[in-house]
Amino acid sequence: VPTRSSSDLADTDYTVTVVAEARYLITAGATGVLWLGVADVTSAANVMWTVGANGTIGIEIPAGVTTLHYGSDGVGTVGRLSKLDDVS
């Protein structure tokens, strides 16, 4: 799958800038569960996606959203975010 860019998700940031309506692959780290949403994910009501250890999912960022929030029960680099190339 062609990707344009990727970045590590550290256990100290909890937000990452994204492009509205773009598609991303999210890969969780080797330990723990990664949860993501478009609002603070300290409340389960805001979690839109979850990824288990070593798992990968594809997501599309909703229109108007430019910040992805995440949390994990892992430590260190808890995952990787990879933006997929636009399909023409």
Which DSSP symbol is given to 87? Answer: P
Which DSSP symbol is given to 85? Answer: P
Q: How confident is the model at residue 88 (pLDDT cuts 50, 70, 90)?
A: low
| Cα–Cα separations (whole angstroms), residue 43 to 6, 19, 40, 48, 88 | 26, 23, 7, 11, 37
Which three-class secondary structure state does DSSP give residue 76? coil
pTM check: above 0.95: no
Q: How confident is the model at residue 2 (pLDDT cuts 50, 70, 90)?
A: low
**In whole angstroms, what is the distance from residue 13 CA to residue 67 CA?**
12
More confident site: 13 or 37: 37
Is pLDDT of 36 > 80? yes
Question: Residues 49-62: pLDDT tens digits?
Answer: 999 999 999 999 99
If you search the block for the tokens 């569960």, which residue do you land on?
33
Give me the mean pLDDT over the 43-54 stretch: 93
